[in-house]
Amino acid sequence: MDRRDFAKLSALAMAWGSLPTFAQTVASSGKPLGYAAIGLGRICDIFMRACADSSAGARLTGLVTGHPETKGAQYAGKYGVPKSGIYTYDTFDRIRDNKDVDFVYIGLPNNMHCEYTIRAAEAGKHVLCEKPMAISSAECRKMIDACRQAKVKLMIAYRIQYDPMWNRVFQAVKAGDIGQVQSFQGGFYGEMAAGEWRLTKKYGGGGSLMDLGIYPLNTIRHIVGEEPTDFTAVVSTLDKSGRFAEVDQSIEWTMKFPSGIIAACGSSYGARGPNFVNVNGETGNFIVAPAFNYGSVHYSGYVKGQTVDEENKGATTPSQFTLEAKHFVGCIRNNKEPLSDGEEGLKDMVAIEAIYKAAGTPIA
């Protein structure tokens, strides 16, 4: 090989190396993008039903389940997924060869998010992962690195960031309609039945903060646009039945942001209570309650010198899940980074670790 031939070969190699991956060359013809649902529990069922709305721009083309002959076959029949599109956790990596799957939706237990995000990225598939992103900030960073290296999109499913009512709230704060924000209060309280995987340290990673408390945490971070630096926290388990043998029942915490804004939040797996966010400003305030239900949002308060009271009872379409799917499809088509990307999920996990540390019960 002479110098001229070597130069040509080198140029060809450089051009080949700069070619986009399969995940970057998804057709922009307007037809729906195909996705595979990983884990066929309650949250995946909701997401699949939401994506049946054509406005999402996504269609179910793959299923990953530990029960291919029962659950897999059931959903395949319902949504028209071919038998070749049904995978087990052992055969998941074969999804690399399925050109009808452009991205995956991960609705698995928390401790499996990291593994399947990395495996999906290595298979050249974009990733929409449920929250919490993982069970540690170290896992979050591995997920971000894997997706960046594979040149695929990574989005965390913070559905309320795509809700029209919530976006009016976000814009009102940003526009200064209640003056300089001073403080927040937020909480999400509910019951968790014994035997649920979320009550195990292995699968859940922590208590209600990982599942419910993350909602007011992320909402407040999103509104403020800053990362909290100072934390106090307490955990408590009043239930002595053994239901909370591995994770805490309830947690209350405070945060202070660099600007001086303070927040007080709480969550529980053993208390009937509201889910809400209250924002106090110099000239006004508002409360969103319910705040985190699937599409039911009630926004009221004193804004721009006037009383406001608006409610979305969840009867409108598309749903929050449809809207988040639509956003992700748009990011893939237009090669844009999702609003709630991996860095957003990482920041929440860093704050969660700090909260548990402040409570004297570190999770990592």
Looking at residues 78-103, what average pLDDT do you find?
98
Give the pLDDT confidence of 49-67 residue by residue, as tens digits. Answer: 999 999 999 999 999 999 9
Q: In 3-state terms, what secondary structure has residue 66?
A: coil
% of the chain at pLDDT higher than 70: 90
φ/ψ of residue 48, rounded to 5: -65, -40
| Dist CA 34 CA 172 (whole Å) | 36
Q: Is the peptide bond before 338 cis (omega within 30 degrees of 0)?
A: no
| Dist CA 334 CA 337 (whole Å) | 9
Quote the tokens at residue 310: 């608006």
Q: Which of 13-17, 61-65, 221-225 has the lowest mean pLDDT?
A: 13-17
Residue type for 322, please? Answer: T
Domains, the chain, ordered by start: 16-159 (3.40.50.720), 160-313+342-358 (3.30.360.10)
Identified catalytic residue from 35, 105, 116, 131: 131
Cβ(184)–Cβ(266) below 8 Å:
no
Looking at residues 168-194, what average pLDDT do you find?
96
- Assign 312 a pLDDT band (cuts: 50, 70, 90): confident
Closest among 285, 212, 283, 199 to 241, alpha carbons compared: 199
CA separation (Å) from 284 to 109, 173, 181, 260, 273? 40, 10, 9, 18, 25
- Assign 316 a pLDDT band (cuts: 50, 70, 90): low
What pLDDT is recorded for position 363? 83
Give the pLDDT confidence of 115-146 residue by residue, as tens digits. Answer: 999 999 999 999 999 999 999 999 999 999 99
| Dist CA 177 CA 78 (whole Å) | 47
What pLDDT is recorded for position 317? 53
Q: In 3-state terms, what secondary structure has residue 74?
A: helix
**Could you tell me which residue, 111 or 317, shows the higher pLDDT?**
111
What pLDDT is recorded for position 2? 44
Closest among 337, 328, 349 to 32, alpha carbons compared: 328
- Assign 244 a pLDDT band (cuts: 50, 70, 90): very high
> Cα 33–103–51 angle (5° rounding)?
55
Cβ(64)–Cβ(39) below 8 Å:
yes
pTM score, whole prediction:
0.90
Answer yes or no: is pLDDT of 8 > 70: no
Answer yes or no: is pLDDT of 17 > 50: no
For the chain, first and last CA: distance in Å? Answer: 56
Count of alpha carbons within 13 angstroms of residue 80, beta-carbon side: 5
Identified catalytic residue from 35, 87, 215, 269: 215
The residue to which tokens 């307007």 are assigned = 30
Provide the phi-psi class of 254: left if phi over 0, else alpha when psi is between -120 and 50, else beta: beta
303-310: long-range contacts, CB 8 A cutoff, minimum separation 24: 303/172, 303/177, 303/178, 304/177, 304/178, 310/165, 310/168
Q: Which of 19-23, 68-72, 196-200, 330-334 has the lowest mean pLDDT?
A: 19-23
State yes or no: is 131 an active-site residue: yes
Residue 38: beta bridge partners?
64, 106
Cβ(208)–Cβ(250) below 8 Å:
yes
Q: In which element (H, E) is residue 288 found? A: strand 285-288
**Could you tell me which residue, 96 or 7, shows the higher pLDDT?**
96
State yes or no: is 35 an active-site residue: no
- Mean pLDDT, the chain, rounded, equals 91
CA separation (Å) from 5 to 2, 12, 19, 67, 104? 5, 11, 21, 55, 43
Closest among 99, 141, 102, 138 to 120, alpha carbons compared: 102
Query: How many Å separate Cα 75 from the centre of its chain?
Result: 23
What pLDDT is recorded for position 364? 64
